[in-house]
Structure 1
Amino acid sequence: MTFTPISLSSLKTIKNTVIGNPSAKSQLAQDEELIQTLVQCLNDPPPSDSSGEDLRVEAAHVIASISYGSEAVLGTLLRCDAPRAFLYAISKLSPEDPAILRAAFARGLRALAIAIADTVGPSLWGLRDERSTIKNDAEAALDSIFQIESLDVFLPLLVDPSAPTRVFIAQLLGFAVRNAEHRSAVAAWLPPDDRLKEVKTKRGWEKTAANANAPNRQGGWVCRSLSALIHSRDAKLQEAALWGLATIAKENATVAAALTKPPTDREGPSLLAFILTLAKSRSTDTQLAACLCATSVLRATPSPQPLHALAPADDAAARTVMNVINRIVSASSEPLPARTKACFVLYNLVTDHAPLAFAAFERGCLGKVAAVLHGLTPPPAPSEWDADEPDSGAALREAALTAVAAIALFDNTIRRSVTDDLRLLPPIHAALSARHVGVRYAACQCVRALSRAVSVLRTNIVDSGLGMAVFQIFKREGKGDTDGEKREGEDSRVTAAALAAVCNIVNEFSPLRPIYLDLGLMPRLVQLLQGRDPTLRLSALWAVKNLLSKSSGETKRDVMQCLGWGRLTELLDDADGAVQEQAFHLVRNLAENEAGIEMLFRALGPSGLLAHLTSALGAVDDDVVQQATYALANLANGAPAAQAHLLAAPALLRALRGVLAERAPHIRRPAVSAVLELARTSTAGRRALGAAGVGGTLRQMCSAARVGGGGGARGTAMDDDKDVIEQARTALDWLEHGEAYR
């Protein structure tokens, strides 16, 4: 599809040919010379009967059109350095250049940036295919777009006289910023002149007192500029600015605070209050943008309330968002993409936040989403029940399942409503076999949330077949033969979600634990432990740890035989603190009875086991120290032979004293328990503890509790509860007067 020479009419023909035509875009990708010519035309149009400005505008429109939908075309655009060409073209704009040229360049950069961000991820509205051959190039290109030199070029267009230009740049921020680093760079950006003022202030050349004209006031320059656009009467500008603000306010307490404070220069409500009024506008897209913006502010605002409560203002704002989302989700007249976005806004609002999740349940959000799932899912059907489902339907199913998983994650009452009242197990079960990767992923997350309830796990998960269905997903790997047909292996993200569910299902109260073991659970976990995916490695270790909790001696032997003691030693030394934490928790679970303790000393050797414990007790990571201390406390409850090994290790006892003296109360609890058990052993044992300085540290803990203060920087003795202090006094009494108890 080469048109030579480039002319205005040929460019329009290309644009009209490729719009909405993926095959035409793929064909165009094969003509790299033409795409290179298009990119060059942005800054150096060839001679033509038409004006150079018209050619540059049309070339920008063509590139914007072909950026979407074809990885091959995007890859060619990246090789031709299209992002840099757009940035250079924008940097050379002058006030005399026509508005249509400025808008075309802003639109082209927006389209290209969003297409690159979609390739890099994470996706804004559900999972996308990660099998991109250009991901590395796309990551480098996206990083370059959000470097300060590039931000200096296109962010000033947020105050451009051209309204379409401002819309495109706000949309770029709303949809192309995907990670915390880029978000922080945008939120902190200042125009070069303002940056000079900041430097002078920091050097003491100006007073640092509160200044109404300080460059960083009201959340920073970008926040102020987007906030001004929200007050525009142009609906497109309002919507674009809301998407942009939603992005930069995410996980940014400074921006969130600026949006929740009443204006200082005039009377009126806070910007958040105004945003909530826009959530009731006539435009569904504006409603969604306002709800997401309010969500970002709510989730980024530190709350002085306890974890189980919401501040009154936050509660009112959350109710407004939930009411709007409920209307959109349940409205069959709304297009499917809008209802999909509404479900994801709800997910963003409640995810990992127990009070908001329960509030959403009480406001009927779960019921609305459940109705969507029942409407999308037919009665029991053949395995290819979703073969003809449009992508928009699958996206809505994924979004609804994702919202269900987030709402149900924390509360057993909600989980029971999911299984018994709303009867969502059949739609979830069907979704586990869906074609679309995002649907399977979201269904696995639902199983993970539901399996956190013991009663649900022991009954519904087992009886419905969900437990076995998610296990089959977990076991699926690579390319293999399934039912006589070659099928591609499972997406690693789906595997990770299924594994998270398996971690819950293998706990000691689960009827499926022995069944999973018989069906090859451990070999698959070991395979994942040997892999390169850090998420899968950690979750696999977590599952092994759960398997060993409250398990029989036979199960412990079988599990460790498959895992390998050498591999456990490697995990105890792993550079990743999270892996070390789970490895020591595994040791803790092994040491929960005398048979397991004997197995540990025999397999690892006293010197090897105690050396690892000694090192872990002095680790920087408190989570590692806590699990190592619990493991030591379990060992201290073992037979006299095990206790003798501990007491014969002065370095270990000194490390134990360090935990008592320096660590937080939740870590001191198992440490005091270990000391008490060891103090009861023998006179020689008490001498060993005394020589390590344990008695003096216990005395300080008890004394500080009596006088109402003291302790170190890591936590005061007053933070310990009465049971720990009483246990510390008992241990101290044994150390000082142990012979009197004989």
Structure 2
Amino acid sequence: MTFTPLTLSSLKTIKNTVIGNPSAKLQLAQDQVFVQTLVQCLNDPPPADPREEDLRIETAHVIASISYGSEAVLGTLLRCDAPRAFLYAISKFEPDDTPALRSAFARGLRALAIAVAETVGPSQWGLREERAVIKNEAEAALDYLFQAESLDLYLPLLVDPSAQTRTSIAQLLGFAVRNAEHRTAVATWLPPEDRLKEVKTKRGWEKTTASANAPNRQGGWVCRNLTSLIYGNDAKLQEAALWGLATIAKDNATVAGALRKSPTDRDDPSLLAFALTLAKSRSTETQLAACLCATSIIRATTAAATQPTTNIPPADDISTRTVMNVINRIISSPSEALASRTKACFVLYYLVADHAALAFSAYERGCLTKLAAVLRDITPVAPRAEWEEDESESVAALREAALTAVAAIALFDNTIRRSVTDELRLLAPIHAALAHRAVGVRYAGCQCVRALSRAVAVLRTNIVDSGLGMAVFAIFKKDGEGKEGEGEGGEDRRVTAAALAAVCNIVNEFSPLRPIYLAQGLMPRLVKLLSGGDPTLRLSSLWAVKNVLSKTSGETKRDVMQCLGWGRLAELLEDANGGVREQAFHLVRNIAENEAGIEMIFRELNANVLLRHLTAALSAEDDDVVLQATYVLANLANGAATYQTHLITSPPLLAALRHALAERGPHVRRPAVSAVLELARASTAARRALGEAGIGATLRQMCSASAGYHSPHAAVGGGFQRELSSGGGGGVGAGARATPMEDDKDVIESAKTALDWLEHGEAYR
């Protein structure tokens, strides 16, 4: 399919052929010579053609059309260096170039950038099949597009006289920025002349000013100009600019804080207030863009308000209620396009994800009820194979989006989980999702099981009775050769990770499915994933093993550790990944929850190896590693005299313990003091060793610092440690940790008791 030479007529024919035609795009991708000629035509059209500008415009349109959809076509465009060709053409723009030429190249760059971003991910509107073949090329291309030198070429087009050009650049920012590094590059970008002013100011050549003309006012140059587009009267520009600001303000407290303030040079409302007004416009796309923009501002300022170093107040409840009301209407309206309802579900997800208060607010506003109605409406009661065969991609996308939002809302609260299982009857749609052909639907279904399995009552009844527990285990266990970008067994790694997160909850001590999982190959599968190269799967697998070992029989502990291997555990205790080390020590803590477990550890792990790793962990920079290591020591201190002797005859270990007492917070000092108390009660030799290590002096300083506090309770004795370090930590039904002040009171009382034993221990004998 080679067209030589290129003509205006042939280009129009190609464009009309490939639009909406994946097979035509694939055929085009196979002709790399033609695609290379097409890319070259952006800057070097045939010299004899009298309609050079029209030819270049049509070439840009063709490339924009073929950028979408086909991995093969996008790969060919990247190999032909299409992003660089577009940027070079834009760098050569002249003031007298026509608006048609400028808008065509801005549109082409936008289409190419968004296609590349979708390949790199993460996707904005749901999980997509990974394009592993060209992902490395796409990552390099996306990084290139957001280098400062590249931004210098196309960001100035935000103030181009052509509305179409400004729209395309705003859309590029809204849909092609996918990571924090690129977001920061855009948010902090300044035109070269403003950068010179900044440099002079920093060098003291000019007086620093906070005037309205400061380059970084109102969130920076890009945000300032996007904001001006929103305050204008062009609906298309407003929508595009809202998408752009939504992306830039995401997780950016500085930008979000600026967008919550009224402009300094006008009486208009703040951008947040104006966006909430636009959320009630006639255009659904504008409503969605406005809601996502408001969501980014709300979440960024809410996160910043929890940091002691900021003075940014959290967003008010009116803003969140407005967003939820608009989203509810779109989700539940059958007259809205399925794509719009899908986006609405994801906007809701972005608003409430990993935020307990906002998730409960969404529940109170009826969001969960609206989502449930959608899921029941699009999930027939017929057997899954019968309806899924004819299900459109748009319906599958809506199912994924609704399930994703349900999982986020149900993640924190047992009342909400009970509503999902009992009142709203969503177990059947969730179960159907686990076997769906679309990767995103399976992923969302697994996330729902993960959220529901955090409730003890739901896990012991609904998860078991409905078959969800065994269905998610089947996904987790999928095994086989696998492919690049996929989990073991051909399942997508992201789905495997989501299923494993659910399994981590389901294997806790109160689950009736734990013995069934173990009998059906849980441990060999976990060990295989733990030995793989995916960091998420490694960490979650270790987390699951840790939970399996909590409050279980000695026989189960032996079987689990025989499968895991004590040598592998020793390696994990010094893993470079802090999260892995934390879980490895928590695993040891769970084994050591009784005397039989302590004996097993010293026998199998070797005392010298154990003490060496424990000493290093107590002095680690990672507080989570220190915390779990301290709990391990507190448990080991409850062992028989033989094992206590190993602890007190290790000066480096006792020095590390003293350091933890002196330098760490109450959450670490609690188990550390418990360990000291148990050892002090053990023997005269132990008390002498603790005193020589300076631990008595450290305890005295702790007690002196709290001399003004007198507890109404009796000092805590030997049962103190058992309350703190017995098992689990899987997150299911776990209570909140005490506040630092409450921790301090408990710790000080235990410290006084331990000090009394060190100084007067013989009197107790």
Does the CA-based 8 Å contact 1:478-1:490 persist in structure 2?
no
How many aligned residue pairs are there?
A: 727
- For residue 429 of structure 2, what is the aligned residue in structure 1? 427
- Counterpart residue type for residue 558 of structure 2: R
- Give the distance between the partners of 1:304 and 1:108, measured in 2 at CA: 37
Q: CA contact under 8 A between 1:448 and 1:498: conserved in structure 2? A: yes
Deviation at 1:232, TM superposition (A): 1.4
8 Å CA contact retained: 2:75, 2:134? yes
Q: Secondary structure of the equivalent of 2:205?
A: coil
Write the deviation string for residues 336-357 of structure 1: whole angstroms up to 9, x where unpaired: 0000000000000000000000
Distance 1:420 1:718 in 2: 39
Report what 1:22 is aligned to.
Answer: 22
Which residues of 2 match residues 631-710 of structure 1 at below 5 A? 631-706=632-707
Q: Match for residue 157 of structure 2? A: 157
What is the correspondence of 1:543-562 to structure 2 with a 5 Å cutoff?
A: 543-562=544-563
Code of the aligned partner of 1:587? V
User: Are the equivalent residues in 2 in contact too, given 1:279–1:291 (CA < 8 A)?
Assistant: yes
Contact 1:402 1:442 survives alignment (8 Å): yes
Q: 1:387 to 1:717 in 2, by over 3 A?
A: closer
Moved more, 716-725 or 577-586: 716-725
Q: Structure 1 pair 717/39, CA: closer, same or farther in 2 (3 Å)?
A: closer
2:334 equivalent to 1:337: no
Structure 2 contact 674–750 (Cα < 8 Å) conserved: yes
Shift of 1:707: 5.4
In 2, Cα distance between the equivalents of 1:125 and 1:693?
58
Aligned equivalent of 1:621: 622
Does the CA contact (< 8 Å) of 2:119 and 2:131 recur in 1?
no
Q: Distance in 1 between matches of 2:428 and 2:450?
A: 16
Secondary structure of residue in 1 paired with 2:411: coil
> 1:50 Cα deviation (Å)?
3.6
TM-score, with structure 2 as normaliser: 0.93
- In 2, Cα distance between the equivalents of 1:313 and 1:146? 30
Q: What pairs up with 1:368-407 in 2 under 5 angstroms?
A: 368-383=370-385, 385-407=387-409
Report the counterpart of residue 564 of structure 1 in structure 2.
565
Q: Distance in 2 between matches of 1:304 and 1:5?
A: 58
Verify the 8 A CA contact 1:29 1:76 in the aligned structure 2. Answer: yes
Give the letter for the 2:635 counterpart. Answer: N
**Counterparts of 1:80-91 in structure 2 under 5 Å?**
80-91=80-91
For residues 537 and 462 of structure 1, the distance between their equivalents in structure 2, rounded to whole angstroms, comes to 26
Residue type matched to 1:476 in 2?
K
Which residue in 1 is equivalent to 2:480?
Answer: 478
In the TM superposition, what is the alpha-carbon distance from 1:573 to its structure 2 partner? 1.1
Secondary structure at the aligned position of 2:407 is classed as: helix
Q: Which moved more, 1:42-51 or 1:268-277?
A: 42-51
1:706 is paired with a residue whose SS is coil
Contact kept? 2:304, 2:314, Cα under 8 Å: no
Distance 1:57 1:282 in 2: 33
| Relative contact order higher in (CA < 8 Å, ≥ 6 apart) | 2
Distance 1:707 1:206, change over 3 A: farther
Query: Is the alpha carbon distance of 1:20 and 1:50 closer, same or farther for their aligned partners in structure 2, counting shifts above 3 Å?
Result: farther
1:606 Cα shift?
A: 1.2
TM-score normalised by structure 1 residue count = 0.96
Counterpart Cα distance in 1 of 2:153 and 2:270: 31
Q: Which residue of 2 aligns with 1:484?
A: none
Indicate whether 1:105 and 2:122 are aligned: no
Q: Supply the RMSD in Å over aligned alpha carbons.
A: 1.7
1:521 equivalent in alignment to 2:522: yes
Percent identity reads: 78
Task: Provide Cα deviations, 1:154-186, integer angstroms capped at 9, x if missing partner.
Answer: 000000000000000000000001111111100
**Superposition deviation, residue 721 in structure 1:** 2.4
The answer to whether structure 1 residue 287 and structure 2 residue 282 are counterparts is no
Indicate the larger mover: 513-522 or 697-706: 697-706
AA of the residue aligned to 2:590? N
Q: Which moved more, 1:431-440 or 1:25-34?
A: 25-34
AA aligned opposite 2:761: G
Equivalent residue, structure 1, for 2:754: 731
Deviation readout 1:394-450 (Å, 9 max, x if unpaired) = 000000000000000000000000001101001101111111010000000000000
* Structure-2 separation of matches of 1:5 and 1:42: 14
Q: CA deviation at 1:208?
A: 2.5
| Displacement of 1:48 | 4.0
- Pairwise mapping of residues 592-603 of structure 1 onto structure 2 (< 5 A)? 592-603=593-604
Return the alpha-carbon distance in structure 1 between the equivalents of residues 614 and 306 of structure 2.
35
Instruction: Describe how 1:392-541 pairs up with structure 2 within 5 A.
Output: 392-479=394-481, 489-541=490-542
Which amino acid in the other structure matches residue 524 of structure 2? P
Q: Deviations over 1:688-729 (max 9, x none)?
A: 000111011111111111258xxxxxxx99784211110001
CA distance in 2, matches of 1:477, 1:325: 40
Is the aligned partner of 1:45 residue 2:45? Answer: yes
Cα shift at 1:382: 4.6
Contact 1:126 1:399 (8 Å CA) reproduced: yes
Kindly tell me: are residues 687 and 335 of structure 1, through their superposed partners in 2, closer, same or farther at Cα, counting changes over 3 Å?
same
1:721 aligns with 2:723: no
Is the CA contact 1:383–1:433 (under 8 Å) kept in the aligned structure 2? Answer: no
Amino acid at match of 2:693: A
Offset from partner CA, 1:212-257 (integer Å, 9 cap, x none): 3211111000000100000111110000000000000000001100
Could you tell me whether the CA contact under 8 Å between 2:529 and 2:538 is conserved in 1?
Answer: yes
Provide the C-alpha distance between the structure 1 equivalents of 2:446 and 2:4, rounded to a whole number of angstroms: 53
Q: Which amino acid aligns with 1:352?
A: D
How far 1:488 sits from its partner (Å)? 7.0
Give SS of 2:245's match.
helix
Q: CA deviation at 1:263?
A: 2.1
Gaps of 5+ in 1: 481-486, 709-715
